[in-house]
Amino acid sequence: MVNLKKRIPFITGAVLFLLLSVVSVSQIQPFLKLTTRDYEEFSRVTIQPSFPLSFEIEKGSSFLLVKISIDIPFRIQKDPFDSRIIRSYGWTKGRDYYILTIKTKIRDFSYDYFVLDDPTQLVIDFSEADDESRRGDREDQSLLDSALSRESDQSSTQEIQTIVIDPGHGGMEPGAQGKYGTLEKDIALAIGLKFKAVIEKNLPVRVVMTRDTDESVSLENRAAIANFEKADLFISIHANSSYRKDARGSESFFLSREASDDEARMLAYLENNPAVVEKGIGGDSEDEITMILWDMAQSAYLKESSLLAETLQEELNFLLKTRNRGIKQAPFRVLTGVACPAVLVEVAFISNPDEERKLQTEWFQNNVVEALYRGLENYINSYTRQ
């Protein structure tokens, strides 16, 4: 029989060694600490990394994007806060960077930032924009609209180099669910990965995925990834859902303040607010959608977006022999802020048991990808002839 008194010191030593190892690893792993504090005239966000800081900042309508260049994982340390200006934080990973999203409670905000040394800290001060700032913002937006219009006019002579594929939902946001348990996020990712492989095999372009695993990516960060990667085209892939179980076919959308019909308006709301799918629709979110809709002058690309949606839809109808539901417009937040032609494709109705079973099969997914690729190829041919 083993003497327990002799084993106790050994066990204690082993436990102590493991604890020290965990502490040592946690100290070595890079981290980024976020603190939020309100002052009388502004709210301050302090970003303190344990690694050399290289960053870019971009302002959205009600959020600020901070692109942090680093190609290794790191921990986020965030203190609880209750701020009158700062609403929340979000982040997502790119190829060799992370994007931190600082969401605000107000649309009209201004910001200023500076960097401190020893320790390194990026300090960002948020305040409510005064009348002068708002006038400046309008002037800046007017200049941006003109620049994007010129860029759009010139873009027909430029070669398409980067395509961003956006598989909808992911992580804690499963999207719609079919009768047999199929999740929209899984179908969108499977088709997105296949689509990427086909494009890279046949076209001399770079393809970027907003996600290539089952991870959560905010709607704002999907657009941010496209812009940081200088996308020439943005295609968001989804599986449709309807209260009518006989609804079938594919639909392609491009951005508009007003929805084409009630079903498009309902779909846009559910895609924009995935957490409320089971709760029903309230009346307050329409204002939020309207506030951010035209923030990055997507209107400069509506003609190209409409053409891309049309060519994709034609091939989906032809190859899949699904009902022609036509191209539609709706206020999808994922398309807002993307500075290039952008569309959202609902490849089939996951709420329809027959189409759900098809979506689960390799052959149907492959057919969807073939249709998307042919539509893309037709668009590129039409685009270069303009």
Q: End-to-end CA distance of the chain, in Å?
A: 88
250 in Cβ contact with 372 (< 8 Å)? no
Domain region containing 41: 30-131
Angle among Cα 231, 236, 240 to the nearest 5 degrees reads 170
Q: Are strands 121-128 and 109-116 parallel, antiparallel or unpaired?
A: antiparallel
Same domain for 55 and 179: no
CA distance 212 to 230: 19
Q: Which CA distances in Å does 147 have to 142, 155, 157?
A: 9, 12, 16
Q: What is the mean pLDDT of residues 184-202?
A: 95
**How far, in whole angstroms, is CA 356 from its chain's centroid?**
25
Per the domain annotation, does 10 fall within a domain?
A: no
Same domain for 263 and 367: yes
DSSP E strand boundaries for the chain? 31-38, 43-49, 55-59, 63-69, 75-78, 86-93, 97-104, 109-116, 121-128, 162-167, 206-209, 233-240, 250-255, 324-330, 342-349
For residue 308, give both structure tokens.
């891309």
Q: Is the pLDDT of residue 113 over 90?
A: yes
Same domain for 163 and 124: no
Same domain for 323 and 217: yes
Q: Is the pLDDT of residue 39 over 80?
A: yes
Residues 328-350: tens digit of each pLDDT: 665 677 777 788 899 999 999 99
Per the domain annotation, does 152 fall within a domain?
A: no
CA distance 340 to 302: 9
Same domain for 175 and 306: yes
Number of structural domains in the chain: 2
Per the domain annotation, does 14 fall within a domain?
A: no
Per the domain annotation, does 9 fall within a domain?
A: no
Report the pLDDT value the prediction gives residue 106, as an integer from 0 to 100: 83
Per the domain annotation, does 20 fall within a domain?
A: no
Same domain for 221 and 167: yes
Report the pLDDT value the prediction gives residue 158, as an integer from 0 to 100: 54
Q: Which of 62, 96, 131 is the last residue of a domain?
A: 131
Q: What is the mean pLDDT of residues 192-204?
A: 93
Report the pLDDT value the prediction gives residue 362, as an integer from 0 to 100: 93
Q: Is the pLDDT of residue 386 over 60?
A: no
Same domain for 120 and 165: no
CATH number at 39 reads 2.60.40.3500
Q: Are strands 43-49 and 55-59 parallel, antiparallel or unpaired?
A: unpaired
The predicted model scores a pTM of: 0.57
Same domain for 104 and 186: no
